[in-house]
Amino acid sequence: MGLYGMMRTGVSGMNAQSNRLGTVSDNIANADTTGYKRSSAEFSSMILPGTESSYNSGGVKTSIRHDISEQGSYTYTSSNTDLAIDGEGFFMVESPNGEQMLTRAGSFSPDADGYLVNSAGYKLLGAASDADTTNLSATSLTPLIMKYNAAVPFPSSAGTLSLNLPAGAADGSSYRTSLTAYDSQGGSQTLDFTFEKTEADTTGTQAAIPNQWNVTVTNRSTGNVLGTRMLDFDDNGALVGGGDLATSADDLGGSTLQALSMSFAGTSQLKSDFSVSSGSIDGSGTTAVSNYTISSDGKVQAMLANSKTIDLGTVALAKVASPDNLSPTTGDAFALTNESGDLQIRTPETGGYGSLISGALENSNVDLASELTNMISSQRSYTANSKVFQTGSDLLNVLVNLQR
């Protein structure tokens, strides 16, 4: 073995330990970084050909391994936009320059425009509220927005009314009750329901129907009759035929009261006073957003003050065949490589991609005790390799001084 070979081997060893110390220092520095994945240096020998009488020292080769597939523990927070993944998936995010990447760092919060952005400035990607989530691809994803400014009306479309009509009422007797419905702009409309006992036929041209009432629905503000129908009762006072009524729409000049499907199920004709058991029409007036939620299956929703919800989109999760071969980038994100495999995108709680935990963050997978142990080991190995280099240098000086 030549002296230069000895010194070269010592330098190779120092470079290897320097790389190892570099990964250790990064791991220690990011021990508290959300979603960080530890790196490690692995060594393999480099052998140079020699002869029986001459040994050529080789060296050591360093390869960097990223433990991306190893999941970290959770820290729970008070923010419902902090997200952790319980499973193998990755968040799909978009960098400021428009590049799509993967990350496990879920410390998202709405920016000034409502986009969900993590601490590195990457926008969370997902499916739009009206998108087909069964066939997602990288090109179909869009940045999710947690913002809904408009006061939202919920126009009425259906209602129920259950009451008792007096069995002993005289022909032509009428009773009235009212319910509130909501038009297309959230305005309230009072609907009057008038029940009139029909007169028995005295002409002899048809059979008398003593148990029949005519119901008329009128919009009080316009006076328009929106629908009528007959309610028939048997001798026991039970409603015959269900008693559903479909009203017509009412043009209010700038807004519309939609057609309603009214059910009178449960209405009776008994020998007691007129009384309303229950009655309601769905819908509501305009109401503001009171809160935003992200469910375990990735649905992003705005919750309104009237407890109704508006779908804003669905968080997308991605997987690759070999996550440890992804390429780490700034901001705890990862880029695809040829070795990592193709990107597959689904929604949470499908196909083993994992579910979301709202109000939680994934910690780094760094073990500080192991890193400090590796640092001490690398320090000693570096010192030993420097001694090899120093010894080779000393021997070279001896050789140079032989000519004196």
pLDDT in tens, 103-115: 999 999 999 999 9
pTM, full prediction: 0.70
CB 273 within 8 A of CB 166: yes
What's residue 208's pLDDT? 47
Kindly report which listed range (213-222, 258-267, 390-399) carries the lowest average pLDDT score: 390-399
Report d(CA 288, CA 152) in Å as an integer.
7
**Domain residue ranges of the chain, discontinuous segments joined by +:** 3-67+365-403, 83-144+312-361, 153-286
Helix 368-400 to helix 3-29 angle, to the nearest 10 degrees? Answer: 160
Report d(CA 218, CA 357) in Å as an integer.
50
User: pLDDT (tens digit, 9 = 90+) per residue, 5-30?
Assistant: 667 777 778 888 888 888 899 889 99
User: pLDDT (tens digit, 9 = 90+) per residue, 55-77?
Assistant: 666 678 888 889 999 999 999 99
Measured at the alpha carbon of residue 279, what is the angle toward residues 273 and 284, in degrees to the nearest 5?
A: 155
DSSP H or E segment with residue 61: strand 59-66
Report d(CA 180, CA 284) in Å as an integer.
9
Residues in contact with 184: Cβ distance below 8 Å, sequence separation at least 6, in sequence order: 153, 155, 255, 256, 257, 258
- Return the exposure string of 218-248: e unless at least 16 CB atoms fall within 10 Å of the residue's CB, then b: bbeeeebebbebebbbeeebebeeebebebe
Report d(CA 216, CA 161) in Å as an integer.
13
In the predicted structure, residue 201 carries a pLDDT above the cut 60 = no
User: pLDDT (tens digit, 9 = 90+) per residue, 344-388?
Assistant: 999 999 988 999 999 999 999 999 998 899 889 888 888 887 777
- Return the exposure string of 53-81: e unless at least 16 CB atoms fall within 10 Å of the residue's CB, then b: eeeebbbbebeeebebeebbeeeeeeeeb
What percentage of the chain exceeds 70 in pLDDT?
91
What's residue 286's pLDDT? 82
Q: What is the mean pLDDT of the chain?
A: 88
What is the CATH number that goes with domain 153-286? 2.60.98.20
CB 164 within 8 A of CB 277: yes
What percentage of the chain exceeds 90 in pLDDT?
62
What's residue 203's pLDDT? 52
In the predicted structure, residue 337 carries a pLDDT above the cut 60 = yes
Closest CA to 255 of 186, 320, 199: 186
172 Ramachandran zone, left/alpha/beta (phi>0; psi -120 to 50): left
Report d(CA 323, CA 35) in Å as an integer.
14
CB 182 within 8 A of CB 154: yes
CB 280 within 8 A of CB 128: no
